[in-house]
Structure 1
Amino acid sequence: MKKLHIYLMLTGVMMLWGFNVSILKTLVENVSPVTMTSLRIFSAGICVFIILYFLHILRKPTKKEWKYIIAGSLLNVVGHHYFLSVGLTETSATNGALVLGMGPLLTAIMTLIFLRQKPSFIRLTGFILGSIGVSITVLSGSEGLAGLAIGDIHVFLSILVQAGSFIIISKAAKSIDPRLLTGYMLLLGSILLFIIGLLTEPSGLSEFFTISWELWILFFISAIFGTAVGHMLYNYAIGQTGPAEAAIFINLNTFFALLGTSLFLNEKITSSHLIGLVFIISGVIMGSGALEEIKNKSKWKKNVPLAK
């Protein structure tokens, strides 16, 4: 029952992140991406600490925990968001989405290498099916698959450092609540991103404060729900299920992103998108371990003698 709760929570997070894509697309068309990202993540960090205060889990980290926080900030916040924002300006949306779709499989590989957790045949099949589903969903778009660009390398680096951060979060969860870890990571990472933004986007801060009130609303919706709540819940799930199992749900992000663009940006969903969704859902059920859990429960019920 607890696993089902985590699975439903991860699905909800993917819906938040998927719909957040439409908001971010609108924001980056009006303001400098790195500066906007740093301020959005900083706002999310403040929001997380407010939530932590009311949850009564706010405390100072130990010296050992600071190592996890610094490493997680550099990988999950600075590295991932910087490479992603730069990469998506240098490659097609199709290429970018396809490379991002490799994230769960890459996380599974890194989990095997660093945590010595070998996925079963069913789970490995789930990761592959999920990747196929993402490919079908993305390639059904109108842009087509362009040749390899430098942006593809940057996007790949973004998921590489993110996968590495999931390993760190999994290890850190043994001593520090992942939600508390999230708050410190967001604040520290946003400050470092802001410094990078000042160097690479000199006019980014001034233009940010000239946006309309409608964009400010979108900014805070993205910061509070997409980043603060989304990352708190996702990192908590990593601590409960492990990095590979949580990462497989990222495949759902692609479909929810398409659904969001259809609802909010009037883009069309085709039959190919739905076929891709079938593969994605199949991959999630198998890759998360849900199918194995159902099979194990069925075997257990068969072996339990009926009461006379």
Structure 2
Amino acid sequence: MQNFRPYIILVFTMMIWGFNVPLIKILVSTFEPVTITSLRIFTASLVIFLILGFMGKVHLPKKTHWKYILGGGLFNVFFHHLFLGLGAAGTSAVHTGIILGLGPILTAIMSILFLKSGISFLRIFGFFIGTAGVLVTVLGGGSGLSGMALGDLYIFISIATQAFSFIIVSRAAREMDPLLLTGYMQLFGSLGIFLASLMMEPDGLASLQNGSLTALGVFLLSACGATAIGHLVYNNTITKIGPSESAIFLNLNTFFSIVGSAVLLNEPIYYYHWLGLFLIVPGVLMGSGALEDIIRKRARARKV
């Protein structure tokens, strides 16, 4: 049972992250999207530092670490969550969840471009399959290009910037605690988003008056549960399993976001949503290199 513990934890983490997509949709529909996003990430950073404080892991970073904190905060938090908030306000939660499912493929592309990772026919084929899945999702329903919302583009930019940030984070993790890095990135990234909200949404803070106890509960659940604890648990657990397993679990994130959108928001799920999902899942497995890792592991196991 001990061997299965990381996998069980990751299933629950993916469920929390998946259901967080409709929660974000509720928040950006109730408040100004950029303002509430900044407050959500800032609250998450405070929770992370509180937890790390109990663990005795809070300390000032070294001078050489600031480039990772600021770079990661810019792409992993500022751009990612800024466009995620804007995108969620302009498209459905179902579309958001499916497009976010491209994360592993985009991360693999970034690794090839910037880290000179290997590329194979299987990975190239996976890129095309995953891209086809997104196109089916956002262009489905017979409306073609005219039916693609600006929010869909924002969501794609959001996951693309996050994928690039993983290159920075993977390099930073060699020199500093990734959990502490997460806290600093979210803290400074949230401050950047808040400054942007003051320019983009002059009435952003005034929109907080639209809140209710239900909205407050959604905010705390999203900020403290999904964004803070979810990222800490993921960053701590993912080091215990290989890259192939991590890509598989990220697929569950997409699945749970679709289920959560239907359950919490009563959003309709059409056949082209499922078709897009069924294309993205194998696309991620192939494009991220997960399938090749599984094949290599089984080949080595047969030789032993």
TM-score range, shorter chain: 0.7 to 0.9
1:262-273 alignment runs, 5 A limit: 262-273=262-273
- CA deviation vs aligned residue, 1:122-166 (integer Å, no higher than 9, x gap): 444444434444444555568765267766654444333222211
| Whole-Å separation in 1 of the counterparts to 2:282 and 2:292 | 13
Q: Bigger CA drift: 109-118 or 143-152?
A: 143-152
Cα shift at 1:275: 4.3
User: Does the C-alpha gap of structure 1 residues 131 and 251 become closer, same or farther in structure 2, counting only changes over 3 Å?
Assistant: farther
Q: Name 1:31's counterpart in structure 2.
A: 31
> Distance between the aligned counterparts of 2:85 and 2:182, measured in 1?
21
Output one character per residue of 1:251-300: Cα deviation in whole Å (capped at 9) or x when no partner.
54433222111111223444554444443443344445443344334333
Q: Does 1:186 align with 2:192?
A: no
Structure 1 segment 27-176 matched on structure 2, within 5 A: 27-87=27-87, 100=100, 102-137=102-137, 145-146=145-146, 154-176=154-176
Cα separation, 2, equivalents of 1:149 and 1:299:
45
In the alignment, the residues of structure 2 paired with residue 3 and residue 141 of structure 1 have an alpha-carbon distance, to the nearest angstrom, of: 44
Amino acid at match of 2:117: Q
- Please give the secondary structure, in 1, of the residue aligned with 2:30: coil
Q: CA deviation at 1:14?
A: 3.5
Q: Deviations over 1:89-113 (max 9, x none)?
A: 5678788677655544332222112
TM-score by length of 2: 0.81
C-alpha distance in 1, partners of 2:6/2:129?
21
Q: CA deviation at 1:115?
A: 0.9
Q: Distance in 2 between matches of 1:165 and 1:180?
A: 16
Cα separation, 2, equivalents of 1:123 and 1:238: 22
Contact persistence 2:104–2:284 (CA under 8 A): no
2:223 paired residue number: 223
CA offset digits 1:207-264 (Å, max 9, x no partner): 3155111110000000012211233344557777899995786554433222111111
Please tell me whether the aligned partners of residues 247 and 284 of structure 2 are also in contact (alpha carbons under 8 angstroms): no
1:43 partner amino acid: T
The equivalences for 1:209-220 within 5 A come to: 209-220=209-220
Equivalents in 2 of 1:192, 1:74: separation in Å? 8
Q: Quick one: structure 1 residues 145 and 264, their matched pair in 2 at CA, closer, same or farther if it must change by over 3 Å?
A: farther
Query: What RMSD, in angstroms, separates the aligned Cα atoms of the two structures?
Result: 3.7
Deviation at 1:174, TM superposition (A): 0.4
Moved more, 76-85 or 1-10: 1-10
Maintained 8 Å contact 2:28/2:85: no
1:18-68 deviation line (CA, Å, top 9, x unaligned): 211111111112111111111110110011112212333322211111110
Instruction: Confirm or deny that 1:18 pairs with 2:42.
Output: no
- Whether the 8 Å contact between 1:245 and 1:287 is mirrored in structure 2 is no
* Residues 217 and 90 of structure 1: CA distance in aligned 2, closer, same or farther (over 3 Å): closer
Contact 1:111–1:243 (8 Å) recurs in 2: no
Identify the structure with the greater helix proportion.
2
Aligned length: 304
1:185 alignment partner AA: M
- CA gap of 1:158–1:3, structure 2 versus 1, over 3 A, is farther
Q: Is the 8 A contact 2:39 2:190 kept in 1?
A: yes
Displacement after TM superposition at 1:85 (Å): 3.0
Query: C-alpha separation between the residues in 2 aligned to 1:242 and 1:68?
Result: 24
Measured in 1, the distance between the counterparts of 2:253 and 2:163 equals: 16
Stretches of structure 1 that go unaligned for 5 or more consecutive residues are none
Q: Distance in 2 between matches of 1:145 and 1:79?
A: 25
Moved more, 9-18 or 68-77: 9-18
1:232 maps to 2:232: yes
> Is 1:254 matched with 2:246?
no
C-alpha separation in 2, matches of 1:38 and 1:10: 26
Identity %: 48
| Equivalent pair of 1:6/1:237 in contact (CA under 8 Å) | yes
* 1:279 maps onto 2:276 in alignment: no
Q: Letter of the aligned partner of 1:204 in structure 2?
A: G
Counterpart-to-counterpart distance in 2, 1:98 and 1:275: 11
Moved more, 61-70 or 135-144: 135-144
Contact persistence 1:20–1:222 (CA under 8 A): yes
| Equivalent residues of 1:98, 1:135 under 8 A apart | no
